[in-house]
Amino acid sequence: MDIATISERFKVFAHRECRGSSDLYEYLSEHIAMDEKLLAICTKVQQGQPIPNLFFGAVHYLLLKGTEHGLKDFYESIVESPKKTEQCFPYFKDFCQLNKDEIISVMKSRLVQTNEVRRCSYLYPSFSFVYEKVKKPLALIEIGTSAGLQLLWDKYSYSYETDVVYGNNYSTVHINGQVKGERLPYLPNNSPPVACRIGIDLHVSDLNSAEDYLWLKALIWPEHTERRDLLASAADYVKINHINFVEGDGVALLPDILKGIPEDAVICVFHTHVANQLSKQDKVQLLQHIKNSGKERDIFHLYNNIQDGDLHLDYYIDGYEHTSTVGETDSHGRWFSWNLS
């Protein structure tokens, strides 16, 4: 990818993703977009990967590993009282120049696998909607599962700007969600039953691996303390619950995995902020797999980043296709809107 295109990616990332969420990454993105030396480093990113996320993640990873440099003093994830963001760019550029080879090595060996636990705030009502449709235990298949934290959405508790708690009342993971707009989702007191959990990824993140866990922490933006806390709490649930992890190409593997799902469960294929890393051909193939399976049995597909950034729920019941838009979602799960009825 050429430098001009990468520059535009950082400009869009600054304004669309970072504004109101990370002052540090917004400021750095705006400056990186005008710096040819830093943009040249970013040309080494693996094809199909979100460039700003991977670049920032690589830098953050090296800092968290203990690479000594004054840049760490601007990261809230490392120091209690970070220095002013407006002073950080010379430090950032110097760090990248000194550690260029290490940064490139990380970007070539790692994938953007953000396990955003807060996205479960919209998975809970979405899968509750599915269960109300079919009244069967849910067979969960997540493409791009990373460490599988979202596959355990039924193990967490939720509140939506009230004191009412839904889901697992005894959970140590509690997620506060905000529903924007006038329409509210149906929220059962208890989680729907789950028959099985299958997580597919090109590289499954092993939470027992210090390196993998550190990489997941590095993908969380420095100011986002709550996200780090949720990652730590949810990681404990992965260690005590059974998830069938499958390493490989989720689109290619899906048909065989679907064949192994028992008839007394309803198939729920889902992925959040993963399809933007798929080729156009893979997106078409994925939808075709869902359609083919829908001719033989009931199947639900919850996803975004195929047609657009909205959250969609497509499903086949008794061979009939239904398509719907759940609503808009914040990329970090802070809020969502609800259109289903």
Question: Considering the chain, what is the average pLDDT of its residues?
Answer: 96
> Would you state the pLDDT for residue 210?
93
pLDDT at position 145, please? 95
Give residue-wise pLDDT tens across range 167-177. 999 999 999 99
Structure tokens at 59: 């830098």
pLDDT of residue 289: 98
pLDDT, residue 46, reads 86
- % of the chain at pLDDT higher than 90: 94
Q: Are 263 and 175 in contact (CB under 8 A)?
A: no
In CATH terms, 117-337 corresponds, of 2.60.40, 3.30.70, 3.40.50, 3.40.1620, to 3.40.50
Task: Provide CB contacts within 8 A for 274, sequence distance 6+.
Answer: 143, 144, 305
Residue 114: per-residue pLDDT: 80
pLDDT one-digit tens code per residue, 114-153: 889 999 999 999 999 999 999 999 999 999 999 999 999 9
Pick from 101, 126, 140, 120: which is nearest to 244 by CA? 140
d(CA 257, CA 313): 20
Domain boundaries, the chain: 3-109, 117-337
pLDDT of residue 113 exceeding 90, the answer is no
pLDDT, one tens digit per residue, over 54-76 is: 999 999 999 999 999 999 999 99
In sequence order, the 6+-apart residues with CB closer than 8 A to the CB of 307 are none
- Tens digit of pLDDT for each residue in 292-309? 999 999 999 999 999 999
- For the whole model, what pTM was predicted? 0.88
